[in-house]
Structure 1
Amino acid sequence: MVNKNVFITGIAGFIGSHLAELCLSKGWNVIGIDNFNTFYDPKIKRQNLRRFQSDITFYDGDIRDRDLVTKIFRENNIHTVFHLAAMAGVRPSFQNPTLYADVNLNGTNIIFESAVRSGVEKVLFASSSSVYGNAPKVPFAETDDIDHPISIYAATKRANEKQAKVWHELSGIPVAGLRFFTVYGPRQRPEMAIHLFTRALFNHQPITLFGDGKTYRDYTYVDDIIAGILGIESALAGFDIVNLGENRTTTLIDLIRLLEKITGETAILNFEPMQRGDVDRTFASIDHACTNYNYSPQTDMESGLGKFVEWYRATFG
């Protein structure tokens, strides 16, 4: 649908900015909100936003501001909501659990309330692979028993899924929860492992590994994630929870070896104990996404890391 109006919360962030650009390329009208909080340097998000700000309708504000959110839905005939705004990060969630609960639960509730009242056609929201905790069965599937989160952040994301199910049942609006598996690529947040490791390699600084380096993650390139989001948006009917990952895993040590190969630098490793809230592994079953939404991740780890390092060099020198 050309001229479709879509609303992206967290539009200046890593995933939100990439999603905005692809929506604009489809000729859609993009409305966005971001509050530029200090979880990481707001200048980074403002730089992301400048790439397309003149082409969108932008609101500088907080999703917990009920009056502002109501105004956004009143002023724009929104078709689809992509709710990506949240307090992110497992370890920081232990430091300020009240803030995480307020933003991720109260903020999400305000978005859903306004979306339902205004009669939007679809809502897609960011969940997380963290909801699986240390589930014993791999790969992780959407049908697994996962009510055992091991961090405040994971608990808020699982609660979002429960909230969303209630709003769907009340309104009949199609809703999808997107369980992202460690997204990486250009514009990735600076506290994420790939960004941290790359910066340490180029600056010849030690890389701190929590654990023995054998923990593994299902790293997912941002372009694959964005394609997956839009595929779900196109076909969504009813309520659904969908894994968006690569169905491939990489250990921390192997990740560093790949980055050494790509950068030409040698890592200085410092091993520390595992941190609370960290999981041993993530590994996505993507059968549901592939079968029902034509999801087909295309970017292998080495080429994706190459694109990230190329962006890092161009951005930071």
Structure 2
Amino acid sequence: MTTRATLICLGLLAGTGCLPAQQLRRAVAAADVLLIGKVVRVIPAKDHVLYKIDIEEVLRGTVGNSATKSLGVVSTKRVSEHNKPVPAKRMLLCLHDIRAAAQQLGLPEAFGPYFKMSGHPGSAVVLDGDRDPRLTFTRTLVASQQGKSPRAIAEELFAVALKGDPRVRIEAAQTLAERSVLAGYLTQIHLSGLLSRAAGETDDIPYKIALATVCAERKEPALIPTLCISAEHVGDEAFLKALGRFARFIHREDAAQALQPHIARAKGKTKDRLILALGATSTEAALSTLLDMQKTSDHRAAVEAALRIHGSPRATAAVAKKTAKTTTGR
């Protein structure tokens, strides 16, 4: 896994919710065929359900020949799937070719060629017209694959990430963060816009983290100070963990040093929150600071939580020792 992908996993996927996030961009990248179509017939079979799809437009890939106007999508019964075609609805579908397997299953040729749905959440989209933002986002990704200027693609994704529809703005930011070539076209003006938007977001925490991740990937110097100020208003644990991990990514072993001035100035709940972020850096310097604070700080509950987040053997042992001493003292 690359450093960039690692940061995405640590920052964006750090416990931001129990439901699977939309992964349309991954479905687009992996699909054999992307198309707009409508379910015109549903045919139950022994172990499968067959959906006959009339094709309106193929965005990418090959379905058959120029005369192919429909295809079949196979859904396996008794298997939980994130996405299934919805009858009579105009849909964006991300499909995988199973023509060879269809012959072995003995599926009727009249309803082929056969495909299956992508397993990625959000990859079967009931469209709200031609300007549906999820369709526009998909067209941008397809254009990128087909050779459109990376600079132009980066501009489009930046606009969506900054001011786009809530259904796609997180994925637009994630795409910029995951693709270094595109992120490389972001100027300081772009980064300042993303950072300002991230700083002001207090409700949609996954969105806040996604915007901050783009800035972290570019090692924006103002990111950590700005997010430390945000901690006054945002106490979400996923955000605080991301802050610590961003500090580690940008400053490496000096992450604790980057956070300590902000911790020293903070008071009350804000100080507690920044202590949690310190634990999330998982650095040796952070551990030393937390162990000292465990003995003297008035914010001992936050320190204990930060040690748990740090997760190193020494941090875990320190928490266990403190718990045992407290229990014995009773």
**What TM bracket, shorter-length normalisation?**
under 0.3
TM-score (norm 2): 0.25
Please give the TM-score of this superposition, normalised by the length of structure 1: 0.25
More relative contact order in 1 or in 2 (CA 8 Å, sep 6+)?
1
Relative to its length, the structure with more helix (as a share) is: 2
Larger radius of gyration: 2
